[in-house]
Amino acid sequence: MSESKLAQSLCGGDSTPRWLRATKTDNPCAPGGAVMMTRSKVLWGSGVLNGNELSFPDLSLIQEDITHSWYEVNKDNVSQPCLEPAPFKPGAYSWIKSVKYAHNFFEVGPLARMIINGLYRGNTSTMDRIYARTFETSLIVQLMKDWLNQLIPGPPPIKQKTEIIHKIKAPGRPVLLFPYKIYVYFLGTKFFFETPSVFTI
């Protein structure tokens, strides 16, 4: 992959490829697509990759740009200007907002996360973005399986019939179990729920 081709894909012809992966690790709902391992640790690290230089991001330098997005700033409310949809905005071609870091455009998202963390070395085409998104999803699925295997099941939420009879049965007092059914009709289908009624005599 040539340096110039990578640069044009990311920065519109600028000479430096730029990648941004920003995460505030002390926030359990961290931005940037973070997968939190603990409240202070994320699965993938943050970084600003500018050419071959990798640095830690300053979140105050991140801005959104809507130059080519179907949005316009509503300036009627001076105290709190907000974005409004503008589907016929000249020069716009997407609902996606661009990301700037220190006034320069950067690539963000799954592809940036995989590249910054050394998990992917590819190109910058649409196919590469789809691949990076799919690859990241597969990593998270494996993590979810590991997390599920770490769960310790608690006690059952309901008392089973045998447990109820065992607990209320006393010496010399027989137990009568009268199950009854509740029928429910929904969209032409009959469902029933069976609940035991237990009496001691």
CA–CA distance, 196 with 49 (Å, rounded to integer)? 65
Query: Cα 176 to chain center, whole Å?
Result: 52
On whether residue 93 sits in a domain, the answer given is no
Residue 13 and residue 51 in one domain: yes
Residue 8 and residue 52 in one domain: yes
Residue 50 and residue 12 in one domain: yes
- Return the closest-CA partner of residue 117 out of 105, 99, 103, 135: 135
Residue 54 and residue 8 in one domain: yes
On whether residue 72 sits in a domain, the answer given is no
Average pLDDT over residues 92-109: 91
On whether residue 64 sits in a domain, the answer given is no
Please check whether residue 177 is in contact with residue 196, taking contact to mean a CB–CB distance below 8 angstroms.
Answer: yes
| pLDDT tens digits along 1-35 | 333 223 323 333 333 445 555 544 443 334 444 55
| pLDDT tens digits along 110-162 | 899 888 888 888 788 889 999 999 999 998 898 889 888 888 888 777 766 55
Residue 51 and residue 106 in one domain: yes
Residue 29 and residue 116 in one domain: yes
On whether residue 50 sits in a domain, the answer given is yes
Report the DSSP beta bridge partners of residue 181. Answer: 194
Q: How many distinct structural domains can be found in the chain? A: 2
Question: Is the model more confident about 74 or about 162?
Answer: 74
Residue 134 and residue 167 in one domain: no
Q: How far is CA 9 from CA 12, 22, 58, 115, 125, in A?
A: 6, 21, 24, 15, 8
On whether residue 89 sits in a domain, the answer given is no
Range of the domain at 181: 161-200
pTM: 0.55
Alpha helices in the chain (DSSP H): 3-11, 110-116, 126-150, 161-168
Q: What is the pLDDT of residue 137?
A: 92
On whether residue 155 sits in a domain, the answer given is no
Q: State what percent of residues in the chain have pLDDT above 90.
A: 22
On whether residue 26 sits in a domain, the answer given is yes
Residue 128 and residue 166 in one domain: no
The angle at the Cα of 82, spanning 24 to 31, to the nearest 5 degrees, equals 15
Average pLDDT over residues 96-103: 91
On whether residue 106 sits in a domain, the answer given is yes
Residue 111 and residue 137 in one domain: yes
